[in-house]
């Protein structure tokens, strides 16, 4: 997906490593499928154009959607390079994580996935401005103001990943692309092929010796390396071999004496030291990086972390009326496996005893792990809001409804299917009796149906037509229910989704 190459030679230590291609596996006697469903043919929907880039496992081409003429990038992964089941699982996880993160403004948005006997194709947003790597090579290094702006974006992506229970694990200048060739073009993170979901806490504890290597702190380290490169044009640790680089890292000595470091502020160097602290327990978190005085505009840092994505969505959900909550559950349970895969993994991360339900204590610990700092009373409010059937726990369906990204509501087909669920007789209206039947199905008691219909029924005919239903679903982030002083409090935001 990157743009054309540049003739400028990169500075020492910034040469791209040679691509290592694993030996191809013999062609399978019968096709092996990555996606759990059959897809349309890519060639029927898109015209494939010029090659944009080449990675270790896939080749990216320009592609044009035939129905709209819009250009996208298509990453095609040959199955012959997927040697074992783990390789296939990695591709499926990459697709799920891209959907999980795709609403972030600085993450390349996934458009769709396709599969045939020989390839898995991932169609995504086209970033025509090239790699951050290429711009560093062209510039040599960035000014502090420019570097601060870029690293704020990069660490913002890291913070979003961590709040959603994802570790990127492959942050480097080649994996950040500019949306266009404009000087101020948006920067987008891509290539989630090595990304993984957090493991449940009890598994992490059993692997305590590996946390410093595989934990989310590793992403902050990688971002610190990128910041050093942005300001100096060369990496902080360099040798001719991987073993040599490893020794440089263990020594931990950063060069702040060579040019251009004498002219760079002490504040920038302080941030780099704290991001490249070899002790992961002392290393700054993504949020602490964003609060550092060198990053913060006007030297005023936020007094607490932003709500994680899960927490934000939980807050939004808690402010919705009962009908919108039920409709969200209907929609969530009809979404594809790849769209909800990230939420499934997030649910498993919080449900540490694998019981299939989330208790109050598990929710409290799960929110803490993704950076939320809520009082117990606030967590209890979120728990009550997400617990649609008042069982005292949050089951998987309730969790999906409370944390699914609200952009899913905007799809007409989702609204139509949700309306049809309530409109049992297909009359085109949701009546009070049909609402009562739906409430019974969801285990809801003591629901004031007259009031529910009254606040949605715009023409006062005592029932809800599709237009009124769609308007209610699309209105704001909190629906049309009554709001308290904490009216935007929602479970999804708490967890960062």
Neighbours of 200 (CB within 10 A): 19
Residue-wise pLDDT for 27-83, tens only, equals: 555 667 888 888 999 999 999 999 998 877 789 999 999 999 999 999 999 999 888
Residues whose CB falls within 8 Å of the CB of residue 221, separated by 6 or more in sequence, listed in order: 275, 276, 280, 283
By DSSP bridging, strand 119-124 and strand 187-189 are unpaired
Q: What is the mean pLDDT of residues 348-377?
A: 83
CA atoms of 49 and 62, how far apart (whole Å): 5
* Residue 57 or residue 132, greater confidence: 132
- What is the pLDDT at residue 306? 43
Least confident range from 151-160, 313-322, 391-400, 422-431: namely 313-322
Residue 170 annotated in active site = yes
Q: Which fold has domain 132-299?
A: Transferase(Phosphotransferase); domain 1 (1.10.510)
Average pLDDT over residues 81-99: 90
Instruction: For residue 304, name the pLDDT band (cuts at 50, 70, 90).
Output: very low
Q: Kindly report the CA angle at 483 between 477 and 486, in degrees rounded to 5?
A: 85
User: Which segments within 55-182 are labelled E, that is strand?
Assistant: 59-65, 71-78, 110-115, 119-124, 166-167, 176-178
Average the pLDDT over 427-436 and give the result: 91
pTM: 0.66
Residues 351, 355, 358: CA angle, nearest 5 degrees? 40
β 176-178/166-167 pair status: unpaired
Query: Which of 5-14, 72-81, 367-376 has maximum average pLDDT?
Result: 72-81
Q: Which residue in 107, 96, 369, 331 sits closest to 215, CA to CA?
A: 369
Do the bridges between strand 176-178 and strand 187-189 make them parallel or antiparallel, or are there none, so unpaired? antiparallel
Query: What pLDDT score does 205 carry?
Result: 40
**Nearest-angstrom CA–CA distance, 479 and 490:** 12
pLDDT value of position 485:
24
In this predicted structure, the answer to whether residue 484 has a pLDDT above a threshold of 50 is no
**Integer Cα distance of 207 and 188 in angstroms:** 32
* Amino acid 367: pLDDT: 78
Contact yes or no for 425/434 (Cβ under 8 A): yes
Residue-wise pLDDT for 413-428, tens only, equals: 888 988 999 999 999 9
Tokens of 381: 């409010």
Percent of the chain with pLDDT over 70: 81
Q: Which fold has domain 309-495?
A: Recoverin; domain 1 (1.10.238)
pLDDT band at 214 (very low <50, low <70, confident <90, very high): low
Query: What's the pLDDT score for residue 6?
Result: 45
pLDDT value, residue 288: 92
210-219, 247-256, 297-306: range with highest mean pLDDT: 247-256
pLDDT over 70 (residue 110)? yes
Average pLDDT, the chain: 80
pLDDT in tens, 261-274: 999 999 999 999 99
Q: Does residue 237 or residue 309 have the better pLDDT?
A: 237
Q: Which tokens hold the place of 463? A: 């029932």
| pLDDT score at 277 | 92
Residue 297: its pLDDT value, please? Answer: 63
Instruction: Rank 278-292, 305-319, 329-343 by mean pLDDT and report only the highest.
Output: 278-292
Q: Angle, nearest 10°, between helix axes 309-318 and 144-163?
A: 60
Identify which has the larger pLDDT, 305 or 85.
85
Catalytic residue among 87, 116, 170, 277: 170
Whole-number Å distance between alpha carbons of 350 and 373: 16
Would you say 85 is a known binding-site residue? yes
pLDDT confidence of residue 429: 92
- Residues 166-213 pLDDT 10s: 999 899 999 999 999 998 899 999 989 888 887 654 333 433 333 334
What is the per-residue pLDDT for 9? Answer: 56
What are the two backbone dihedrals, phi and then psi, of residue 3, each rounded to the nearest 5 degrees? -85, -170
- One-character DSSP codes across 441-469: HTT--S--HHHHHHHH-TT-SSSEEHHHH
Instruction: Output the pLDDT for position 150.
Output: 93
Residue intervals in the chain for CATH 1.10.510.10: 132-299
How would CATH label the architecture of 42-124? 2-Layer Sandwich (3.30)
The confidence band for 410, taking pLDDT boundaries of 50, 70 and 90, is low
Ranges for all domains in the chain classified under CATH 3.30.200.20:
42-124
Count Cβ atoms below 10 Å from residue 149 Cβ, excluding itself. 17
For residue 188, CA distances in Å to 126, 128, 177, 185, 364 come to 10, 11, 5, 10, 32
Helix (H) or strand (E) holding 385: helix 376-386
């Amino acid at each position: 997906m990157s743009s054309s190459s540049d003739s400028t030679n990169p500075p020492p230590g910034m040469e791209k490593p040679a691509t290592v291609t694993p030996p191809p596996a013999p062609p399978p006697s019968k096709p092996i499928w990555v996606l759990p469903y059959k897809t349309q043919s890519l060639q029927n929907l898109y015209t494939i154009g010029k090659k944009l880039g080449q990675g270790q496992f896939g080749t990216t081409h320009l592609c044009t959607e035939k129905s709209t003429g819009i250009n996208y990038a298509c990453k095609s992964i040959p199955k012959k390079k997927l040697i074992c089941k783990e390789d296939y699982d990695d591709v499926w996880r990459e697709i799920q994580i891209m959907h999980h993160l795709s609403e972030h403004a600085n993450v390349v948005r996934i458009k769709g996935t396709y599969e045939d006997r020989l390839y898995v194709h991932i169609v995504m947003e086209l970033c025509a401005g090239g790699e951050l790597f290429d711009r560093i090579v062209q510039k040599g290094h960035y000014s502090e103001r420019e570097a601060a702006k870029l690293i704020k974006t990069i660490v913002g992506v890291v913070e979003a990943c961590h709040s959603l229970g994802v570790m990127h694990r492959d942050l480097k200048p080649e994996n950040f692309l500019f949306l266009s060739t404009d000087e101020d073009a948006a920067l987008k993170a891509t290539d989630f092929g090595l990304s993984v979901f957090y493991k449940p806490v009890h598994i992490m504890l059993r692997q305590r010796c590996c946390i410093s290597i595989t934990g989310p702190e590793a992403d902050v380290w990688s971002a610190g390396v990128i910041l050093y490169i942005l300001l100096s044009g060369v990496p902080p640790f360099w040798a001719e071999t991987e073993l040599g680089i490893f020794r440089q890292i263990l020594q931990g000595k950063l060069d702040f004496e060579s040019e251009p470091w004498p002219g760079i502020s002490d504040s920038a160097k302080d941030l780099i030291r704290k991001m490249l602290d070899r002790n992961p327990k002392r290393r700054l978190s993504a949020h602490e990086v964003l609060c550092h005085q060198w990053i913060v505009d006007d030297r005023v840092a936020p007094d607490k972390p932003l709500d994680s994505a899960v927490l934000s969505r939980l807050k939004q959900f808690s402010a919705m009326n009962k009908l919108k909550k039920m409709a969200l559950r209907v929609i969530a349970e009809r979404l594809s496996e790849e769209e909800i895969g990230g939420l499934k993994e997030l649910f498993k991360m919080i449900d540490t005893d694998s019981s299939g339900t989330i208790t109050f204590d598990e929710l409290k610990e799960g929110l803490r792990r993704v950076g939320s700092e809520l009082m117990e009373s606030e967590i209890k409010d979120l728990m009550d809001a997400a617990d649609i059937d008042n069982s005292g726990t949050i089951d998987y369906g309730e969790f999906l409804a409370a944390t699914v990204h609200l952009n899913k509501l905007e799809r007409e087909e989702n609204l139509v299917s949700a309306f049809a669920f309530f409109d049992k007789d297909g009359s085109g209206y949701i009546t009070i009796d049909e609402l009562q039947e739906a409430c019974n199905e969801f285990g809801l008691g003591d629901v004031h149906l007259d009031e529910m219909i009254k606040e949605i029924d715009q023409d006062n005919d005592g029932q809800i037509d599709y237009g009124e239903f769609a308007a209610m679903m699309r209105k704001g982030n909190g629906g049309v229910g009554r709001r308290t002083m904490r009216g935007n409090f929602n479970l999804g935001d708490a967890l960062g989704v």
